[in-house]
C-alpha cells in the first residue's frame, strides 16, 4: 500500500497536479498542530461546564468552533455521550471518515477493513479486543461516519476526580476514548 501511494504521488507530482511541499505541510499540520488533544479539551470543558455541554450536545459543530477547532473533515460534528448504560463506538464502514479538527489523522486500524466491517457486525467483540469488557447490560451504539457527518464520543467523566482543572481533566482523555474503543 505504501508503495502504491508513493507511485500515485510521484505520478501526480510529475503531472503537476500536486506540490510535494504542500502535501508535507498538510500532513505536518494534522500530525503536530492538530490532534486528539483538541478533542480532549472539548471533552474536559463539557465535563466542567454544564452550559457548554448542553451546547455541545445540541450543536456540536458550533460548540467545538467556540474553542477554535473547525474546518475540513469537521464541518458537521455530532457528539454522542457515553453513560453507565450506553457505550458509543465510531467507525466509517465505507472508508476512513474521521473528525480531523478534534482528533487529527485517523490511526491505521481505524482505516483497516477488519475494523470497518467488524465494528458493525460485532462491536462488543471489537471493543473487547481493545481490552474493554463491557457489561452485558450496557447497550452499544455504533455510529457510521460519512463524508458529511463526523462523530466524537463524549466519554464518562472518571469517578473520584473532583476538583481537577480543565487541563488536568483533558490529560485523562485518550484518542481511543473519543472513538469508543476505550473507556476512561
Ligand atoms: Fe469514510
**Contact yes or no for 55/63 (Cβ under 8 A):** yes
**CA 111 / ligand 1 centre spacing (Å):** 8
- Residue 96 annotated as catalytic: yes
pLDDT recorded at residue 32: 67
* Structure confidence by residue, pLDDT tens digits, 144-163: 999 899 999 999 999 887 88
What dihedral do alpha carbons 178, 179, 180, 184 form, nearest 10°?
Answer: -30
**CA 94 / ligand 1 centre spacing (Å):** 5
Ion ligand 1 residue ranges (Cβ < 5 Å): 92, 94-97
Ordered by where they begin, the domains of the chain are: 37-179 (3.90.330.10)
CA nearest to 166, candidates 78, 72, 45? 45
Q: 10: Cβ–Cβ under 8 A, 6 or more apart, which residues? A: none
**CA 49 / ligand 1 centre spacing (Å):** 32
**CA 95 / ligand 1 centre spacing (Å):** 4
Q: What are phi and psi of 151, to 5 degrees?
A: -110, 150
* Structure confidence by residue, pLDDT tens digits, 18-32: 888 888 888 777 766
Instruction: Show the DSSP H helices in the chain as ranges.
Output: 2-14, 20-28, 36-48, 50-58, 60-66, 100-103, 108-111, 113-121, 123-129, 166-170, 175-179
Q: What are phi and psi of 87, to 5 degrees?
A: -120, 135
**Contact yes or no for 37/170 (Cβ under 8 A):** yes
* Structure confidence by residue, pLDDT tens digits, 98-118: 999 999 989 999 999 999 999
Q: Has residue 33 got a pLDDT over 80?
A: no
> What percent of the chain shows pLDDT beyond 90?
77
| pTM score of the predicted model | 0.85
CA nearest to 110, candidates 99, 121, 130, 96? 96
**CA 150 / ligand 1 centre spacing (Å):** 9
Mean pLDDT over each residue of the chain, to the nearest integer? 93
- Residue 62 annotated as catalytic: no
Q: Which residue in the list 10, 62, 95, 112 is annotated as catalytic?
A: 95
Based on the number of CB atoms within 10 Å of its own CB, is 136 exposed (0-12), middle (13-18) or buried (19 or more)? exposed
From CA 6, how far away is CA 172, in angstroms rounded? 37
- Residue 112 annotated as catalytic: no
Q: What are phi and psi of 168, to 5 degrees?
A: -65, -40
Furthest C-alpha separation in the chain: 58
* Structure confidence by residue, pLDDT tens digits, 54-90: 999 999 999 999 999 998 888 999 999 999 999 999 9
Amino acid at each position: 500500500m505504501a508503495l502504491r501511494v508513493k507511485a500515485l504521488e510521484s505520478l501526480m507530482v510529475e503531472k503537476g497536479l500536486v506540490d510535494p511541499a504542500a502535501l508535507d505541510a498538510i500532513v505536518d499540520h494534522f500530525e503536530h498542530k492538530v490532534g486528539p488533544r483538541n478533542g480532549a479539551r472539548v471533552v474536559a470543558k463539557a465535563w466542567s461546564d454544564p452550559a457548554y455541554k448542553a451546547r455541545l450536545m445540541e450543536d456540536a459543530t458550533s460548540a467545538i468552533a467556540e474553542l477554535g477547532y473547525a474546518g475540513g473533515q469537521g464541518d458537521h460534528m455530532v457528539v454522542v455521550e457515553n453513560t453507565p448504560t450506553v457505550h458509543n463506538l465510531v467507525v466509517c464502514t465505507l472508508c476512513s471518515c474521521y473528525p480531523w479538527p478534534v482528533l487529527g489523522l485517523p490511526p491505521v486500524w481505524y482505516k483497516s477493513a477488519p475494523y470497518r466491517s467488524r465494528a458493525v457486525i460485532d462491536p462488543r467483540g471489537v471493543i473487547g479486543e481493545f481490552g474493554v469488557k463491557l457489561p452485558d447490560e450496557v447497550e452499544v451504539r455504533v455510529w457510521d461516519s460519512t463524508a458529511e457527518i463526523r462523530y466524537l464520543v463524549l466519554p464518562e467523566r472518571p469517578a473520584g476526580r473532583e476538583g481537577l482543572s480543565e487541563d488536568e481533566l483533558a490529560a485523562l482523555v485518550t484518542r481511543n476514548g473519543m472513538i469508543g474503543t476505550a473507556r476512561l
